Structure 1
């Protein structure tokens, strides 16, 4: 299968695709420092910059899976006061409609979208309704779930909503889901965090997140800021890997 990513960041979806034996065809990221990271790790993937200035028609019917974690700034709970939390009406989160343009130009078979879980609530739920309406208009059904990093055994919550859109001609059987492998039970894992031993069970939750220790000795502050920004916006690749795995299984079932 072939994969293209939008709002690629430091390449979380691209890495997950690579680990899933899915070929990365292109990525699209407008921040130059992150494009350098993408070029380093995915040298054979075609690089695009500003999504608003990119013509995606060259990829029409060439991409099996299109991923995109469209900007969350206008949907984040950090901007719940004043006019900050505008959702799809905001300049950044509103770039979802550019993703829709890319989808209509590429016509991928599957779409994976990711955003903060609060996108389900912005503008009284009208934003998420608009997302589903746009996908339906283009001929896609959709399934979504709020996934945490802890669902795959990571030592933090990082709650995000993942959505998988698929062609309306694909009929899932009762009980079938694209998230079969995300919240499976994992064995306990021990972590040493800030000097404290923490045992974590995948799929579990905590009353509070464990402490994080950050050190920048000898590292330029600009590099630290860029790294934290990249990691802060990045997806958890293990979640995407498990979604990719399920997509490949369901796709194979419908080919037969």
Structure 2
């Protein structure tokens, strides 16, 4: 049996609330452990993916503050491997896995961040992961690395940092392919461009995964937006070069004085969610237009989460944390689409 014809095991690094995990599981793969630093994300991750029905019923009897303390106890992970700081993990303690998934921190790389690249403490954690691989015996190394980051990774520091990434992968024995994908092309009305990198360990069976194509057409996208807006269609009106927001348009509240389409008004989809999820829509009440901020639930939907998963996260976290978690995550449907290719 060829390697890609079976279900694979994976480790979930920089796990957040588990967007990688959910997408991989929907594609038929099995998680053997996760690593996440932020305790609030760990609360959501544990509630969304690990607790039993009996544990959930017990937690619901507690106040939210009591749940937050309780769910961080080891028993709620039900035997799954976990580490909170990848910098303190040793290679010998890692469970064996076919795939390592990681969207390493982007704050030092993104356009909205410092743009200092791998010189930053957070984004340099990429090399912490590859350091663990260097410490593994050849037969223990993952066959596939499944990596995600912001599109700016390709160009930060004039592209030299991306070249460093490719050199590092080459030196630890992996051939790489990569592609920029946009969430809007996978049936979700959010424009979110991310670069995905697949590394294949040389000497093991492999097939080409990238490039892949999205699932959306323009008419399908309009249908999705209509469902999301409960009847409001997004459209653009232009006057003297300015973008005018009408009922159904999306608005970036981060830049209230911006008059450009790029800076403020969204047509056909929501702008990229950030950790503040400071996005709004123009709606009408009694025929009077008003601006309404997206709810945390809507932000989760824009990352491909079903409401039952949002409810489990909301059981243990505040709205502020839920906004942050949605903005920090990967889009489940994009992960699922790529992960499905591992079977081909």
State how 1:68-147 maps to structure 2 within 5 Å.
Answer: 68-79=102-113, 84-104=114-134, 105=136, 107-147=141-181
Q: What residue is the counterpart of 2:308 in the other structure? A: none
CA contact (8 A) 2:189 2:268 kept: no
- Matched-pair contact (CA < 8 Å) for 1:152–1:239: yes
Cα deviations by residue, 1:157-202 (Å, 9 ceiling, x for unpaired): 11100001112235877xx44343x424556141232862259xxx
From 169, 191, 214, give the equivalent of 1:183. Answer: 214
Among 189, 197, 220, the alignment partner of 2:233 is 197
Cα-Cα RMSD: 2.5
Q: Aligned residue for 1:20?
A: 27
Query: Where does structure 1 lack aligned partners over 5 or more consecutive residues?
Result: 200-205, 250-256
Where does residue 294 of structure 2 map in the other structure?
A: 214
Instruction: Classify the secondary structure of the residue corresponding to 2:233.
Output: strand
- Which of 16, 29, 33 does residue 9 from structure 1 map onto? 16
Shift of 1:23: 1.1
Identify the residue that residue 4 of structure 2 maps to in structure 1: none
Correspondent of 1:56 among 91, 94, 98? 91
Q: Structure 1 residues 226 and 171, CA, compared in 2 at 3 Å: closer, same or farther? A: same
What's the CA shift string for 1:24-80, capped at 9, x where partnerless? 1010001111112222233253221011011232336x211110000000011013x
Give TM-score, length-normalised by structure 2: 0.61
Question: C-alpha separation between the residues in 1 aligned to 2:142 and 2:334?
Answer: 21
The number of aligned residues is 231
Task: Decide whether the 8 Å contact of 1:39 with 1:47 is kept in 2.
Answer: no
Per the alignment, in what secondary structure is the counterpart of residue 188 of structure 1?
Answer: helix
Q: Secondary structure at the match of 1:183?
A: coil
